[in-house]
Amino acid sequence: MATSVNKQWWKESVIYQIYPRSFNDSNGDGVGDLPGIIEKLDYLQHLGIDVIWLCPFYSSPNDDNGYDISDYYGVLNEFGTIEDVEKLLEEAQKRNIKIIIDLVVNHSSDEHQWFVESRKSKDNPYRDYYIWHPPVDGKAPNNWVSFFSGSAWQLDEATGEYYLHLFTKKQPDLNWENDNLRKEIYDMMHFWLQKGVAGFRMDVIPLISKKPNLPSFPAGFDGNFPEFYASGPRVHEFLKEMNREVLSKYDIMTVGEGIGVKQEEVNAYVGQSSNELNMVFHFGHMFLDRQTDDMLEWKQWSLVEFKEVFEKWEKALGNEGWGSLFLGNHDFPRIVSRFGNDEAYRVESAKLIGTLLFTLKGTPYIYQGDEIGMTNVAYESMDDYNDVQTLNAFKEFLANGGSAEVFLPKAHLSSRDNARTPVQWDNSNQAGFTTGTPWLKVNPNYKEINVAQAVEDENSIFNYYRKLIQLRKRHEVLVYGDTDIIDKPNTKIYAYTRTLEDKQVFVVLNFSAENTEFQLPQNLAVKVEADKVMLSNYPVVPHTGKENLSLKPYEGRVYLLF
Ligand code: TEU
Ligand code: CA
């Protein structure tokens, strides 16, 4: 059967994620804001992106930096006004940039009017908008844990019942079983779509349907609680309803944060005939270097496992679904510090990782600052950390007899604040992010790593990203072609072809700090030669594929074979 490619604008787009608090501060209060984003739209247009994913900008007490929303129609004062949102949409549109926004509807803030009402009494009309349960034997209803340490239940004095919070106790879970609640959420989605947003990134969306009767983790539970919480029995019914009532009425894109989604069920969420979402993020590669029982504890990861993650997801999606590609976001360490080498080979390895991001199959998502190779930060004191996940884990660590000295290196490796340090715009004070005092300290390496430098330097990571984006736009095979891995067991080299009808691209990436030889299979060896290299992070020396390819540390090449 000939492969029929189902073309869509969102498959061909490059997405850029903005975490507003850390992006650009326009008024010197130390907090990034909406006018600050508008100031940088020309920069984003120059980079060549098509869509911005804007993280939450709504009213929020900021217990979890905006992922705890107290008014879905309001704009956080620190970020600006609704007029600023409208202006941002308008200015972006002038530059052919679309904007998708974060939909955070698994939970709200405890300061949302709904919850203020809900907690008042058992017969309040909003009681059932949240998940309440009386104590069982004087204790929490079950043994569920929060993503951010401790029990997922909080006893509320007013009525003597517990409410469920899978995240912080200021993020009570909404009860999607309630028809009125769902209706209110759909109305709110229409409000933003009518303002001109181009779709949604949906926070922890697989968690909206809970297991009936809220059973405890079973005996011998493997500790994979995201998977346990995800994909409850009504999740697809809810998403189909949302699609029917809202999404299907607009030409938009949607991407769900696919936490806990298994490969075998992914097309139930994103398959063309499912009528739910367009894409989900999978997290397989985000946990290869973490201990399953301790998110902050690092373990050695292997390139072979890393390749397998992408291979399996591409296979699971097949021609029915479509993938999203990300290597980092506001919740994870910086990609060059994590998968590359942020010391001796920062520039080379950041370009190598970028090459992977733009040449695998799926829609690529850039996280702000990765296009200039921003790195992890290593604050000297726990006082400098802000992220609630890090701080809760730290409290728990201290309570169990740990110390700050032992905890700090874990925070250096794993804290979400690594990704949240202010974007480094230039080498002036505070990296040009603010004229005031930034809400989170800037990374001291801003004098060397910053946008102003990167834009000027033709060999910068930034200019390499521009070339990658252009390359992907010029060659459909890089968007729609299927991936075949070559020499999968190779522990240093990630090599693959992308093939679409009569077009083929070959990508070879040395994920090691050593000079490495790579032997091509016969069928490729005859096609590979230096003048077919379209892009490389090192100068191309004459070669053919018949001898071994000699790759320098973190060298990556993209060949157009025919
Ligand atoms: O993240 C959900 C989620 O999976 C995280 O808890 C993740 O496991 C962790 O951050 C990894 O370090 C989403 C948002 O992206 C995150 O910023 C929010 O804190 C969370 O939901 C709650 O809304
Ligand atoms: Ca500001």
Q: What is the pLDDT of residues 509-561, one digit of tens each?
A: 999 999 999 999 999 999 999 999 999 999 999 999 999 999 999 999 999 99
Cβ proximity of 165 and 154 under 8 Å: yes
Q: Cα separation of 459 and 47, whole Å?
A: 14
Q: Could you give the count of Cα atoms lying within 13 Å of 529 in the half-sphere of its Cβ?
A: 4
In the numeric block, the tokens 């079973």 are attached to 218
Structure tokens at 499: 């093939």
Cβ proximity of 162 and 134 under 8 Å: yes
Where helices occur in 204-265 by DSSP H, the ranges are 225-229, 235-245
Alpha carbon of 525 to ligand 2 centroid (Å) = 55
Q: Cα separation of 446 and 423, whole Å?
A: 9
Q: Cα separation of 42 and 35, whole Å?
A: 13
Cβ proximity of 64 and 388 under 8 Å: yes
Question: Per-residue pLDDT for the chain (562 aa), expressed as one digit of tens each?
Answer: 445 689 999 999 999 999 999 999 999 999 999 999 999 999 999 999 999 999 999 999 999 999 999 999 999 999 999 999 999 999 999 999 999 999 999 999 999 999 999 999 999 999 999 999 999 999 999 999 999 999 999 999 999 999 999 999 999 999 999 999 999 999 999 999 999 999 999 999 999 999 999 999 999 998 899 999 999 999 999 999 999 999 999 999 999 999 999 999 999 999 999 999 999 999 999 999 988 777 778 899 999 999 999 999 999 999 999 999 999 999 999 999 999 999 999 999 999 999 999 999 999 999 999 999 999 999 999 999 999 999 999 999 999 999 999 999 999 999 999 999 999 999 999 999 999 999 999 999 999 999 999 999 999 999 999 999 999 999 999 999 999 999 999 999 999 999 999 999 999 999 999 999 999 999 999 999 999 999 999 999 999 999 999 999 999 999 999 8
Structure tokens at 138: 């004087």
Where helices occur in 360-458 by DSSP H, the ranges are 388-399, 404-414, 451-456
Alpha carbon of 331 to ligand 1 centroid (Å) = 6
> What is this structure's pTM?
0.98
**67 CB less than 6 Å from ligand 1?**
yes
Dump strand ranges (E) for 128-260.
132-133, 153-156, 161-164, 199-202, 253-257
Q: Cα separation of 244 and 262, whole Å?
A: 24
Residues with CB under 5 A from ligand 2 (ion): 25, 27, 29, 31, 33
Give me the active site residues, please.
203, 257
Q: How many residues does the chain have?
A: 562
Q: Cα separation of 65 and 420, whole Å?
A: 10
Which of 57, 291, 331, 420 has the most ligand 1 atoms within 8 A of CB, as the residue to mutate?
A: 331
Q: How far is CA 63 from CA 57, 67, 102, 545, in A?
A: 14, 8, 17, 55
Burial class (CB in 10 A: 0-12, 13-18, 19+), 269: buried
453: left (phi over 0), alpha (psi -120 to 50) or beta: alpha
User: How do residues 274-313 score in pLDDT, each as one tens digit?
Assistant: 999 999 999 999 999 988 777 778 899 999 999 999 999 9
User: How do residues 341-360 score in pLDDT, each as one tens digit?
Assistant: 999 999 999 999 999 999 99
**367 CB less than 6 Å from ligand 1?**
no
Whole-number CA gyration radius for the chain: 24
Alpha carbon of 64 to ligand 1 centroid (Å) = 9
Closest C-alpha to 432, from 22, 60, 35, 90: 22
Which pLDDT score is estimated for 3? 54
User: How do residues 213-253 score in pLDDT, each as one tens digit?
Assistant: 999 999 999 889 999 999 999 999 999 999 999 999 999 99
Which pLDDT score is estimated for 130? 99
Nearest CA to ligand 1 atom 18: 67
Which of 21, 72, 147, 290 has the most ligand 1 atoms within 8 A of CB, as the residue to mutate?
A: 147
**306 CB less than 6 Å from ligand 1?**
no
Q: How far is CA 337 from CA 123, 164, 413, 444, 460, in A?
A: 52, 36, 9, 15, 17
Phi, psi of 128 (to 5 degrees): -80, 5
Pairing of strands 51-54, 482-486: unpaired
Burial class (CB in 10 A: 0-12, 13-18, 19+), 217: middle
Alpha carbon of 102 to ligand 2 centroid (Å) = 20
Which pLDDT score is estimated for 562? 87
Buried b (16+ CB within 10 A) or exposed e, 90-119: eebeeeebbbbbbbbbbbbbbbbebbeebb
